[in-house]
Amino acid sequence: MMIVTRTETLQDQHNPNSKIKPFLFGTDFRQVCLGVVMPWLLPSQLEHLSSSPSQRQCEQTSFSFYCAVRERLPVWLLEDMRGMEVFSWEDGHPRAFLPSEALLYALVHDHQDYARHLLDTYSVSALRAPRCGFCCRRSSGAPHLSVAVRYDRAAILSMMAAALKHADSLTDYLESRGGCSHVADAGKTAVQLAVELSRPDCLLLLLAHGARPAGLEAALQRLVSCEEAERSQAQRCLDFLLLFLPEPEAPRQLQDEPRRWQSLLGNQVFSWLCGLAPPPLLLQALRCLARSGPDQISTLPDFLQPHSWQ
């Protein structure tokens, strides 16, 4: 088990060049720990921390558990730690970490074996929104979906969809919005977040499992505003949205700057989006394949991938 000492320097795995200076076990140290342990929370919320020694101890062991998942320790060891140690603090009492909380850690660090174990063992209960530690209410929405998309964990996202495959709530779950204001992605569906962050693999999984293909205007705006290095990913997101769209209404961008968008999208796709022509034959064929599962598209040869419609 990894325990943080007074003299250690913390390092964020997602930004190896970023190091956090060590602090004493006071408020500053606990703010650092919670900021690393729960990176999906807004930084301003880290100020509301208790000075209780017992709570500080829970926060320290919580960080130890986070480090263990980050190091991708064996599943059996992580489950022993979760079941035998106290990590979390709720209503003035310590308690063990819930499977849903452990799954959030597995998502952040792409610990696929641990995520698979949690989903196989606890099924839908591993996807329940954990209680918010700041407003003392159970979080609404689907935080696991948001974290999976934000960290681009397509493999674990696929496991989550499989766990919900036979659940009546699958569609509602995919359409959930982050409801707790303490979360940076509050109010956004997973599809909207995937478009905003250019996560095409996650977007395709969500759409293929029944999520509503919303966000066409955002996808078009992302295509023209993103950096050159992200352009191909933004293009793929737009392509996948087009595969699942019903009869589209012409977005305002196309009406305001028709020549620009005609050049970007190609004549056939532009005319279809504007309601001036039926969709291209290749697009129609790919739309049929898309509705039969995401694997059908990813296995096609490159010249038949969606970006070749133009």
Query: Which domains, ranges and CATH numbers included, belong to the chain?
Result: 53-97 (no CATH), 99-129+139-237 (1.25.40)
pLDDT tens series, the chain, 310 aa: 333 333 333 444 444 444 333 322 233 334 444 444 455 444 554 445 555 777 888 888 888 999 999 999 999 999 999 988 767 777 777 888 899 999 999 999 999 999 999 999 999 899 988 876 555 555 556 889 999 999 999 999 999 988 988 776 777 888 887 656 656 677 789 999 999 999 999 998 899 888 999 889 999 999 999 888 888 899 999 988 988 888 777 778 888 888 888 888 888 888 888 888 888 888 888 788 777 766 676 666 565 555 544 4
DSSP annotation of 299 reads T
What pLDDT score was predicted for residue 23? 28
Cα separation, 241 vs 171, in Å, equals 17
Cα separation, 161 vs 309, in Å, equals 29
- Residue type (1 letter), 120: D
What pLDDT score was predicted for residue 182? 59
Q: What is the DSSP string of 90-145?
A: ETTEEEPPPHHHHHHHHHHTT-HHHHHHHHHHHGGGGGSPPBPTTT-SB--S-HHH
Cα–Cα–Cα angle for 304, 154, 61, rounded to 5 degrees: 170
What pLDDT score was predicted for residue 120? 95
CB-based contacts of 9: which residues, under 8 Å, 6+ apart? 19, 20, 21, 22
What pLDDT score was predicted for residue 155? 94
Cα separation, 199 vs 221, in Å, equals 15
- 180 near 45, Cβ under 8 Å? no
Report pLDDT digits (tens) over 95-133. Answer: 888 999 999 999 999 999 999 999 999 998 999 888 765
- 142 near 176, Cβ under 8 Å? yes
